[in-house]
């Protein structure tokens, strides 16, 4: 592994290891993105995926919130996208203005020819996604130890959704057809995606990622039974095989985070899924989540991103509720939103959110005890 400057702020990694700390660490999903004026300046005329494929631009975008909110946030997350894995598998993915991701040729059925091609194709994520690893290494160097760096991937279920729906969806007709009409073929593809996720995350760690997160953004579209059949086994595959792959590469294991948006019914299962940290969306009551988790994992979350539209009084109220619900924040909690920062948020409102966490969960003396 490349030699990097020693980490100066390891607060988040200490929490992820179960240690008792002086205050809860903070970062937010999509903290690098279009709500920031400097994002649009750095992006320039480049389209979204061109930014992802340029290590220099991706690194610059990753660092923007770290610079803007200096001293207020405790982690960076590499600027990239979950859909780079389908791209590496040979599928075309575009990011359309005001529409989002679009697959011009999504999977239609196991008999459409493309399915067999995908299953037979040997995918070299080391080669195909080298630009991500370059961006991670470049970002680690630029960070100079200020905060740790998250790597990430999309969860197999969520990637399958995009690959067959052709983009976002309200009804998820196509993917529901797949899992109920072609369950075996669906599981074979989910398994292949899982294997690619393991290698992709391992190479991110090799390049400098210090913690990794798996985003199951469409978990809410599954019933509890379907979640246990089509999502959870593949999340567990990643958490089991990633540490083994890192060991093969002679790399230390890193903390792993799972974020299954909308899968409130699966929190107990997720606490036993092999991840050290479980992300919560805003549908979870913090105190209830703590009760269910029973100290098995660190919890990450979970303010409603919409509160950032509401002004300071609303933000203060939500922060107070979170600090109380998560037990004060000296152990077992990484502060985050319940999903990513949404468009048109005032960056100063996000700054106030960070400041209120610092104010309402103040520094205390702490011991070195662990969970």
Average pLDDT of the segment spanning 248-274: 98
Q: Please, what's the b/e burial string for 144-171 (b: 16 or more CB within 10 A of its CB; e: otherwise)?
A: eebbbbbbbbbbbbbbbbbbbbbbebee
Q: pTM for the whole thing?
A: 0.97
pLDDT at 333 over 50: yes
- Residue recorded with tokens 């480049």: 46
**Which of the two residues, 58 and 329, has the higher pLDDT score?**
58
- Name residues whose C-beta falls within 8 Å of residue 113's C-beta, 6 or more positions apart in sequence: none
**What are 299's strand-pairing partners?**
278, 333
Q: Which two three-digit tokens encode residue 135?
A: 């961006």
- Reported as half-sphere exposure (CB side, CA atoms, 13 A), residue 256 has a value of 27
* pLDDT at residue 366 in the model: 47
Pairing of strands 211-216, 100-102: unpaired
Distance between CA atoms of 333 and 275, rounded to whole angstroms?
14
Banded model confidence at residue 370, pLDDT cuts 50, 70, 90? very low
Give the tens place of pLDDT for each residue, 338-368.
Answer: 999 999 999 999 999 999 999 999 665 544 4
* pLDDT at residue 362 in the model: 66
Average confidence score pLDDT of the chain: 96
Average pLDDT of the segment spanning 199-227: 98
Distance between CA atoms of 106 and 218, rounded to whole angstroms?
17
* pLDDT at residue 368 in the model: 44
* pLDDT at residue 369 in the model: 44
Distance between CA atoms of 43 and 196, rounded to whole angstroms?
29
Burial of 202 (0-12, 13-18, 19+ CB in 10 A): buried
Distance between CA atoms of 304 and 229, rounded to whole angstroms?
29
* pLDDT at residue 364 in the model: 58
Average pLDDT of the segment spanning 274-299: 98
243 in Cβ contact with 169 (< 8 Å): no
Average pLDDT of the segment spanning 10-21: 97
Give the tens place of pLDDT for each residue, 55-105.
Answer: 999 999 999 999 999 999 999 999 999 999 999 999 999 999 888 999 999
* pLDDT at residue 99 in the model: 87
Give the tens place of pLDDT for each residue, 130-163.
Answer: 999 999 999 999 999 999 999 999 999 999 999 9
Distance between CA atoms of 41 and 290, rounded to whole angstroms?
41
Banded model confidence at residue 273, pLDDT cuts 50, 70, 90? very high
Q: What is the DSSP track for 143-191?
A: HTTSS-EEEEEE-HHHHHHHHHHSB--SS-HHHHHHHHHSHHHHHHHHH
Average pLDDT of the segment spanning 114-122: 97
Q: Is 283 left (phi over 0), alpha (psi -120 to 50) or beta?
A: alpha
Banded model confidence at residue 275, pLDDT cuts 50, 70, 90? very high
Q: In 3-state terms, what secondary structure has residue 360?
A: helix
pLDDT at 301 over 80: yes
Q: Give, to the nearest 10 degrees, the angle between helix 156-165 and helix 183-207.
A: 120
- Name residues whose C-beta falls within 8 Å of residue 223's C-beta, 6 or more positions apart in sequence: none
% of the chain with per-residue pLDDT over 70: 97
- Numbers of helices and strands, H then E, in the chain: 17, 9
* pLDDT at residue 98 in the model: 80
* pLDDT at residue 225 in the model: 98
């Amino acid at each position: 592994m490349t030699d990097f400057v020693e980490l100066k702020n390891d607060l988040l990694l200490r929490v992820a290891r179960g240690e008792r700390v002086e205050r809860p660490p903070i970062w937010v999903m999509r903290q690098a993105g279009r709500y920031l004026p400097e994002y649009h300046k750095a992006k320039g005329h480049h389209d979204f995926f061109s930014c992802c494929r340029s290590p220099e631009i991706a690194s610059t975008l990753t660092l923007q919130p770290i610079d803007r909110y200096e001293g207020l946030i405790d982690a960076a997350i590499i600027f990239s996208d979950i859909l780079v894995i389908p791209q590496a598998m040979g599928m075309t993915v575009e990011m359309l203005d005001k529409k989002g991701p679009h697959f011009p040729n999504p999977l239609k059925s196991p008999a459409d020819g493309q399915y067999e091609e995908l299953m037979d194709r040997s995918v070299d994520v080391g080669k195909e996604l080298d630009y991500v690893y370059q961006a991670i290494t470049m970002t680690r160097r630029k960070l100079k130890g200020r905060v740790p760096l998250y790597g990430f991937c999309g969860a197999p279920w969520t990637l399958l959704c995009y690959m067959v729906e052709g983009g976002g969806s309200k009804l998820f007709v196509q993917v529901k057809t797949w899992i109920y009409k072609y369950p075996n073929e669906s599981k074979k593809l989910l398994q292949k995606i899982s294997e690619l996720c393991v290698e992709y995350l391992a190479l991110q760690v090799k390049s400098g990622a210090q913690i990794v997160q798996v985003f199951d953004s469409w978990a809410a579209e599954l019933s509890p039974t379907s979640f246990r059949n089509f999502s959870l086994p593949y999340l567990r595959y990643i958490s089991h095989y990633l540490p083994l792959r890192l060991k093969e590469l002679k790399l230390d294991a890193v903390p792993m985070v799972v974020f299954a948006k909308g899968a409130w019914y699966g929190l107990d299962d997720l606490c036993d899924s092999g991840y050290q940290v479980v992300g919560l969306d805003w549908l979870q009551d913090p105190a209830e989540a703590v009760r269910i988790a029973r100290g098995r994992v660190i919890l990450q979350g979970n303010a409603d991103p919409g509160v950032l539209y509401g002004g300071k009084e609303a933000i203060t109220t939500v922060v107070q509720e979170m600090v109380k619900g998560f037990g004060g924040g000296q152990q077992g909690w990484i502060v985050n939103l319940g999903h990513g920062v949404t468009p048109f948020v005032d960056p100063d409102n996000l700054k106030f959110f960070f400041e209120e966490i610092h104010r309402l969960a103040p520094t205390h003396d702490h011991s070195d005890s662990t969970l």
